[in-house]
Amino acid sequence: MVIIMNTDATTQNIHDVVEAIESVGLEAKIMEGIQQKIVGVIGDKTRMASIAIDAMEGVEKSVEISKSYKLASREFHPQSSIINVAGVKIGGGNLVVMAGPCAVESREQLLASAKIVKAGGAQLLRGGAYKPRTSPYSFQGLEEEGLKYLAEARELTGLRIVTEVTEVEAVESVCKYADMLQVGARNMQNFRLLKEVGRCNKPVLLKRGLAATLNEWLNAAEYIMNEGNQNVVFCERGIRTYETYTRNTLDLSAVAAIKHLSHLPVIVDPSHGTGKWRMVKPMAFAAVAAGADGLMLEVHPNPSKALSDGPQSLTPDNYMEVMRGVKEITMFLHKQGLAIDTL
């Protein structure tokens, strides 16, 4: 439920409404609307039956939220959120690029990657220290050693760090080094992990599950937000369909849908979305045109020698080419007034 206040509602009016909500054991959240303030109600709405909330001074009306996800819903929070990742803002018309190797393989490889990523204009360095792999024989990551290399790369380049956390026990360790925690596709419905990252004070990048519906994805974000962490960014990385030519089927319609359903930013990963480096550029361009708030690109100094996801990784030259095109498309959209923030 949300309580929409009158445009002339006073601070005292809002305080009284919040107090009434809390008096029946519910949580109230105040949000700034375009013209009005809105008070969101979290918890069992049946408890509101004992309060004549619509009769209170300063209240215009109360509105039931139909979605199972409340905090992530645009009904609850009409204005688009901007997520601050250690000074880098995602959302609100800011196109942010996260780039780097799939896995942190060595200090030399990562620092070389960071310099390439920085030179191309990305704001965040991505790299996996913990790697959940389909095969138990595949490279599993350097774990804390890899996290230390990421932290060193940040000191060297100024890039913010986003890296995946794969289990509850690793959250504390990853939080010490990363600026943003990534919850991967395989863990989108690992509810214990979602709750744990919801209790930390770092922004969370939530990837869409292998075959997750939008409703399931949005509810996964709700698990994080319900623990107190409101700083969530969605990442569309393709879903599993009957098509076998590409690694996944990149669902760019999800960008428009999430913009309509949620106030949270959404970025696109065309590397995992296609699994083929040649397709990354056109899909990156399409994602920007569709209104994505950012991109996640896999970049490796030498993809043919990558220990993870070489076929979908961009060479330094290909990465620079993609970044030039992305910047031109972004400038064109803004110049023409076509940049998409909400739908």
**DSSP conformation letters of 67-121:** SS--TTBTTT--SPP-EEETTEEEBTTB-EEEEE-SB---HHHHHHHHHHHHHHT
Specify the pairing of strand 37-42 against strand 27-32: antiparallel
Separation of CA 290 from chain center: 16
CB–CB of 37/13 below 8 Å?
no
Q: 273: number of CA atoms within 13 Å, CB side?
A: 26
- In the 8-state DSSP scheme, what is residue 276? -
4 CB burial (10 A radius; 0-12, 13-18, 19+)? middle
Q: Residue with structure tokens 């965040």?
A: 124
CB–CB of 108/139 below 8 Å?
no
* C-beta pairs of 52-55 under 8 Å, 24+ apart in sequence: 53/3, 53/17, 53/20, 53/21
Superfamily name with CATH number, domain 2-63:
Phospho-2-dehydro-3-deoxyheptonate aldolase; domain 1 (3.30.70.1140)
- The confidence score (pLDDT) of residue 343 equals 43
Segments of the chain assigned to CATH 3.30.70.1140:
2-63
Segments of the chain assigned to CATH 3.20.20.70:
83-335
pTM for this entry: 0.89
φ/ψ of residue 128, rounded to 5: -90, 120
Both tokens assigned to 33: 């609307």
> Which bin fits 67, alpha (ψ -120 to 50), beta or left (φ > 0)?
beta
List the beta bridge partners of residue 162. 126, 180
CB–CB of 36/70 below 8 Å?
no
φ/ψ of residue 155, rounded to 5: -65, -35
- The confidence score (pLDDT) of residue 288 equals 97
Architecture of domain 83-335: Alpha-Beta Barrel (3.20)
- The confidence score (pLDDT) of residue 260 equals 95
Q: Which residue from 27, 29, 25 is spatially nearest to 37, judged by alpha carbons? A: 29
Q: Which residue from 248, 258, 244 is spatially nearest to 73, judged by alpha carbons? A: 258
- The confidence score (pLDDT) of residue 132 equals 63
- pLDDT tens-place values along the chain, 343 residues long: 889 999 999 999 999 999 999 999 998 988 876 677 889 898 888 889 889 999 999 999 998 887 889 999 998 888 899 999 999 999 998 899 999 999 999 999 999 999 999 999 999 999 999 866 566 655 566 889 999 999 999 999 999 999 999 999 999 999 999 999 999 999 999 999 999 999 999 999 999 999 999 999 999 999 999 999 999 999 999 999 999 999 999 999 999 999 999 999 999 999 999 999 999 999 999 999 999 999 999 999 999 999 989 999 999 999 999 999 999 999 999 888 876 665 4
